[in-house]
Structure formats: structure tokens, C-alpha cells
Amino acid sequence: MSKDSLVKGTLILTLAALVARALGVVQRIPLVYLLGDIGMAAYGIAFNLYSVLLVVATAGIPSALSKMISEKTALGRHAEADRIYKAALWFAVCAGVLMTVLLYAAAPYFADSILNPQAALPIQAIAPALLLFPLIAIMRGYFQGRRMMMPNGISQIIEQVFRVVTSVALAYLLLSHSLDYAVAGASFGGVVGSIAAAAVMLYYVMRLKQSDRRERSAEGADAAAESSGASGQPLTFKAIYAQLFKLSVPIVIFSMTVTLIYTIDSSIVTLLLKDRLGEEAAREILGILTGRAQSLAGIPIILAVALSQSIVPIISSAYSQRDTKQVSDQTAKVLQLSILSGLPMVLLISLAARPINGFIFGNTTGSPVVDTYAPPIITLLTVSAMFQIVMQTSGAVLMGMGRMRPLVLSVILGIAVKLAGSYALAPFWGIYGIIAATALCFIVMTWLNLKVLRSAVPFRVFGPRRWLSLAATTALICLIGYGLEQFCVAYVHPFGSERLDDMVQSLIICVIAGAAYPVLLFLTRVMTLHDLQHLPGPLRKLAKPLLARLGRTTQQEKR
């Protein structure tokens, strides 16, 4: 099994995340129809509680495992890498059994405590999934450390397919018995999904073992590498767990940053805005922020998350071998990719916020609050996601280098800035002040991450000319998008139905502005022929004729 490059691995994980998210949305549509709001409330309680316990059960160990495995294999210490993997599997087994028993036993008491007793059965139905998902997470971390992203991506997609099909089928079949059983059947889809994902991962594990056995026996170098690189005493599980938890706790803190920020918003928005707008309007604005804006602002982040997962083992491997040049090159590359790929999604969602909101969510109640606040809230929160993207990728590089302490400090300072900014700005700018505090939080964290990175390794994302060119491209796309928005409002109403018209307007703005983005990147020379070697093959084939028509040559780029 071959290792995946940064670009290939990122594309695999991005595609898997997009497909999984799409399937998750598709799943909700029939479930809402079958179970209704009451049933979906019980289903949501079960799924959210399960998700929290799954984080506790794995405790960030997959990412820490990825880093440790990458370092050991880079140094040729394959036996140590295998022992670390074995120790992590034992932890996953114990954590899975413990969490499953606790969740199943505590389900009735928890459901009663939150005044939703009907949630007990679906909680118990999904509990067995915790037996397998810690194991699956460890396997994914191991493959990530070996720079093999295909098993992770395929297992995510297969998991979601089986989850969706089983959830909907069981909900439909059991609805004739009772609503409680139908909700439990929908929850049990998570268990079937975990079984399918585990089967995929086991298949790839067996393939990898066979491949490793052939390679090591052919090279005959494993014993020499071990004797030259190891101390002679095998790693104890105690030492392995100490290192795993030392790495995993900061990873959990960093990974929970965005979730924590959004949780802060859901806790303080009503409190800070009720005196200014009234409690009912404040709650409605909170619904816009959490239900609409946060879901759309999360779309551009998908690639950044995939980049983060792909870059950690690559940086860890190079850093463990003291290959400063590769660390520097990979740092520059991942930041370039995150900016150039995240920016168009941020621009398109921000510029088409009004029709996208109208098409996807609508305004069924005819509330003036939705019409007034939804588009600007979506726009501003999505713009702040650009800083979140850079924060996420720069933080992943620090993670790969093992610089956990500054990473945790940046999270703490960022949260402090978020809280202080929200309370300071909300009295003057309302919800926009709270969103501005979110953006300021991401900016501070990004600045701190980049400052620590520059002190560790030299790197340059872009030169001054290319930064100016990127700014010009962004400004031109904004002008194009604004012009298209005004044109659509004035002239594009083909169906006479507000929702269908919004769909057409969204397509016009996104297609034209989206197509203009790569053209402008080449016209302003933000991207050149030399940069194409970092792109996937299909994109290289598309871009080369474009450069030829624009009159760019390899010789010009070398000047």
C-alpha cells in the first residue's frame, strides 16, 4: 500500500467529509418526516450524548497516535510503532466497553433528569456503537500516521451509507409498533454503521500487514534499524500511555476550540441582546446564528480539517528526522493550499448569502427578523471562517512539531478574547459585535500560531507581490458578486416563487463568481505554471491550456 501525498490525502479526506456531511443531511429529511419534531428531539439527545462520550472514549488519541507512528516509522523503528499501535488498541477496547456499559446503564436516569424519558430507548440502542468506534478511531489514527488516507475516507463513506439506510429503514418498519421503537431503530443505525466501518478498516489492516511483511522480509533491514535506533528495551505500555495522553490532551483542547466558541455564543447571545432587542427577538437571532450561519460557515472549513489531518504525520516525520527544509516547505504548502482553497468558498457563501439563505432555509414564519438579520449574520460569520481556516492549519503544523504548550496557550488566550470582545462589543453592535469577537478570537489565535511557527522554522506563504495580487483578486470577486447580486434582485425572477427564484439567483452568483476566481488567480499571477506541480493531475490539465492562452510561459515565471 502506497503512501498518500499531502494533496492526494487531503483530497481523499475532503471528499469523504463532503459525502459524509451530504449523507447526514439526506438522512435527516426522511427522519423528520417519519419521526416528527418530538421523535427527532429524542434522536438528537441520544446522538449528541453518544458523540460527547465518543470524544471522551478516544480522548484525542488517534491524532496523537498518528504523530507517534509517523515518527517511529520515519526512523525505521517498526517494532516500536507496532507496539504503540497495540497499546492504543487495548486502550480502545477498554474505553469502548466501559463507555458502552455506562451509557446503557445510565440512559434511563439521564433521560428522566432532562425530562425526556422517551430518549432512554434510543440512547440504549446506540450505546453498542461505542464498542467499535474507539477501535475504528485508533485504526484511522494508525493509517493517518502511515500517510494512508484512503482507508479512512472509504470507511467514513461506508459508515454513513449503512447508517442512513439502516436508520431510515428501521424507523419506517418500527413506526407501526410505536414512535419510541422507531426512534430507537433510527439510533441503531449508528451501530450498523460502526460495524460496516470496522469491517472496512479490518480489511485494510490485513492488507497492510501483508504488505509490511513482504517489504520487511525483502529488505531485511528491520532488525538493523531497531538495533541502531532503539535502546534495547521494548517500550512499556505505561510509557506509551504516558506519551499518548501527554499529546492527546492538548489535541482535544485544540480540536474543541470552534465547538467551544459556538457553545459560548449559544449561551450568551440571548443574555447580551435581550435588553437591546427583546427576549423573543434575541432568541430568534440566536436561532439564525446557530441554525443557519454556523452550518453554512462550516462548509469552507472542511478542507482545512482534511489538510490538518494530512499534514500532522508529514510534519512529524520530517521534524523527527530534523529535516528543517521539508518542514519549512510543507508548512508553506499547507498554508498556501488552505488559503487558496478556502477563500473561494468563503467569498461565494458571503456574496450569495441572501439567496442561499432563502433557498435552503426560507422564512416560513414571515418574520422580519429573519429577513433583516439572516444574510448579514451569514456573511460576517463566513468571513470570520477564513481566519479559522488559517488557525486550523497552522495549529496542525504546530501539532506535528510537538509544540503543544503554545497551542494550548493560544486557545486559552483566544477564548479569553472571545469572551471579553463579546461583552465589550455587543452593547454597541449587537449580534454583529458578538460575531466580530469571534473573528478577533480566530485572528489572535492565528497570529500566535504563526509567530511560534516562524520562531521554529523559516517559511514564506507568499511574497509581497503575490499577496497584493491575491488582495486584488479578492476585491474583483467581491465587485463581481455585488454586481450580480444587484442584477439578480432587479431582474432575475423567472418562477415567481421566492424560494425557486433564490435558487436560480444563488446559482448565477456562485457559478459566475466561482468561475472567475481561478481565471483571476492566473491573470494576477497569484498562481503560475510552477505552482501546478502541487495540484492534482486533472486540475493541472485544466490549468495549462488556460495559462497558454494568457501568454504565460515557464521562462517568464522564472524571472
**Residue ranges covered by each domain of the chain:** 6-220+234-246, 256-461
The reply to whether the predicted model has a pTM over 0.85 is no
Cα 35 to Cα 20: distance, rounded to the nearest angstrom: 22
pLDDT beneath 70: ranges in the chain = 1-14, 17-18, 21-22, 24-29, 32, 36-38, 40-41, 44-45, 48-61, 63, 114-116, 145-147, 215-235, 247, 291, 303-314, 316-317, 320, 364-365, 529-559
Tens digit of pLDDT for each residue in 244-275? 777 677 777 777 777 778 777 877 888 888 88
| CB-based contact 289:265 (threshold 8 Å) | yes
Report the first-to-last Cα separation within the chain, whole angstroms.
Answer: 40
Q: Locate 436 and state its grid cell.
A: 466580530
Task: Please report, to the nearest 10 degrees, the dihedral formed by the alpha carbons of residues 134, 135, 140, 142 taken in order.
Answer: 120
Say how many C-beta atoms besides its own lie within 10 A of residue 223's C-beta.
Answer: 11
pLDDT at residue number 363: 73
59 Cβ contact list (under 8 Å, min separation 6)? 95, 245, 248, 249, 252
Chain position carrying cell 524571472: 559
| CB-based contact 60:248 (threshold 8 Å) | yes
| CB-based contact 305:296 (threshold 8 Å) | no
Say how many C-beta atoms besides its own lie within 10 A of residue 92's C-beta.
Answer: 25
| CB-based contact 123:49 (threshold 8 Å) | yes
191 Cβ contact list (under 8 Å, min separation 6)? 125, 126, 128, 129
Q: What does DSSP assign to residue 256?
A: T
User: E strands of 255-349, at which residues?
Assistant: none
363-370 long-range contacts, CB within 8 A, separation 24+: 367/284, 369/281, 369/284, 369/285, 369/288, 370/284, 370/288
Burial of 523 (0-12, 13-18, 19+ CB in 10 A): middle
Return the closest-CA partner of residue 189 out of 425, 17, 404, 27.
27
Tell me, what amino acid is at 79? A
Cα 242 to Cα 253: distance, rounded to the nearest angstrom: 17
Q: Locate 382 and state its grid cell.
A: 463566513
pLDDT at residue number 553: 43
Say how many C-beta atoms besides its own lie within 10 A of residue 267's C-beta.
Answer: 11
Cα 139 to Cα 151: distance, rounded to the nearest angstrom: 9
542 Cβ contact list (under 8 Å, min separation 6)? none
Cα 271 to Cα 294: distance, rounded to the nearest angstrom: 19
Tens digit of pLDDT for each residue in 150-162? 787 788 888 888 9
Cα 80 to Cα 77: distance, rounded to the nearest angstrom: 6
Return the closest-CA partner of residue 557 out of 544, 340, 542.
544
Q: Locate 486 and state its grid cell.
A: 444587484
pLDDT at residue number 348: 94
